[in-house]
Amino acid sequence: MTIQRLLVAKPWIWSFAATAIVWIITVLFTGGASSFGLSQAALTFAAFSVIVGIGQMFVITLGPGNIDLSVPATMTLSGTLALKLMDVQDGMIVVGLLASVGIGLVVGLGNYILIKLLRIPPIIATLSMSFIVQSVAIWSNRGLRIKPPETLAEFATSGLFGIPNVALVALILSAVAWVLLEKSIYGRWISAIGQSTFAARMTGIPVDGTRLVTYMLCAVLASVCGYLLASFSGGAALNMGSEYLLMSIAVVVIGGTAVAGGNSNIPGIWGASLFMFLVVSMLNTYGFGAGVRLILTGTIIIAVILLAGGRQSGR
């Protein structure tokens, strides 16, 4: 297999190659003094992007028009209510996690009810749901910043053998997602739906049920991410999920998942998440502001979409 064919067959290689380049440039600028700390920070913060990115990837794989814009609000509500429920008690950690999962299930169900029963396009339905969820989060938060239980906070901020615990959680979730996509009938169903909804229906695939499960799965992953992020940050904030709206989409696209649906890529989400964090770190190191970061992010997404379109048309 030639290098060109390998890059086309394994698009996630691009994201890891770009990650390595940006890491080297950043480390060289600092004289190598921050290499370990930078790597640890990259793994930690990339883990949150990976978790929400996996959920968004499942939804996007369903085909054109499928996207979940309620991810940030779901993260905020999950983190807020979970911390209030746990009330700094170690004995309530599992209860808080179950509550977060429950919030995700409810939000995902609500999203699909709007999409299916009211026939609202996913982008509008999930955006509308995000307003509702964010309003509930604001009402329940009321300006309070409740701390997570000490054991949970310690878990979220520590690591094992130099690998952050949140990164290990993201790795486990990635492995589960890979099994679902590659080894289960559910994975074959969402790929088939993404390639052709009509053909999927004709072959007897439960399209509506599969889409419902997918939107619920995306919301659950966003909720779990909010639970972990609030624990890592020492409390929930009303804007804690805001940056993950663009990020959850960016890591999916940059990671090599087909924007048109039908083809997903979990390794690429890791490469893209690490890349996005390191780009921000590099820009901060060189003294650039948030505006430049946003412009660069948008430019990268557009470039990747154009390259993906070129690769597909050239096959």
pLDDT of residue 226: 94
Eight-class DSSP state of 65: T
Q: What CATH number was assigned to the domain covering residues 12-23+36-310?
A: 1.10.3470
Q: Is the CB of residue 55 less than 8 Å from the CB of residue 220? A: yes
Does pLDDT of 142 surpass 70? yes
Give Cβ neighbours of residue 288 (< 8 Å, ≥ 6 apart). Answer: none
CA–CA gap between residue 52 and residue 247 (Å, rounded): 9
Short-list 271, 280, 232, 290, CA closest to 38: 280
Question: What's the whole-model pTM score?
Answer: 0.88
Q: Tell me if residue 11 falls in helix, strand or coil.
A: coil
Q: Which residue blocks in the chain are alpha helix, DSSP H?
A: 3-9, 12-29, 35-61, 71-86, 93-116, 122-141, 150-157, 165-183, 185-195, 197-202, 207-233, 244-254, 266-285, 290-313
Does pLDDT of 136 surpass 50? yes
CA–CA gap between residue 68 and residue 72 (Å, rounded): 10
For residue range 108-121, list pLDDT tens digits in order: 999 999 998 888 89
For residue range 30-79, list pLDDT tens digits in order: 665 567 777 888 888 999 999 999 999 999 999 888 999 999 999 999 99
Which of 14-18, 205-209, 274-278 is predicted most confidently? 205-209
Residue with the two structure tokens 């940056």: 243
Q: How far is CA 252 from CA 93, 220, 260, in A?
A: 30, 17, 12
Quick one: pLDDT band at residue 2, thresholds 50, 70, 90?
low
**Which tokens sit at 53?**
């990115």
CA dihedral 233, 236, 239, 241 (to 10 degrees): 70
Does pLDDT of 14 surpass 90? no
Eight-class DSSP state of 147: P
State the average pLDDT over residues 98-106: 96
Strand partners, 163: 160
Q: Is the CB of residue 180 less than 8 Å from the CB of residue 186? A: yes
One-letter-per-residue 3-state SS of 105-133: HHHHHHHHHHHHCCCCCHHHHHHHHHHHH
Does pLDDT of 312 surpass 50? no
Short-list 107, 71, 104, CA closest to 220: 104
Q: Is 34 exposed, middle or buried (0-12, 13-18, 19+ CB in 10 A)?
A: middle
Short-list 198, 248, 192, 204, CA closest to 74: 248
Indicate the range of 103-107, 125-129, 237-241, 280-284 predicted with least confidence.
280-284
Eight-class DSSP state of 235: S
**Over pLDDT 70: what percentage of the chain?**
88
**HSE-up of residue 11 (Cα within 13 Å, Cβ side):** 23
For residue range 247-269, list pLDDT tens digits in order: 888 888 888 887 777 778 888 89
Does pLDDT of 26 surpass 90? no
Residue with the two structure tokens 């780009």: 279
State the average pLDDT for the chain.
85
Does pLDDT of 216 surpass 60? yes
Q: Tell me if residue 154 falls in helix, strand or coil.
A: helix
pLDDT of residue 256: 80
| Higher-scoring residue by pLDDT: 102, 308 | 102
**Which tokens sit at 147?**
């701390």
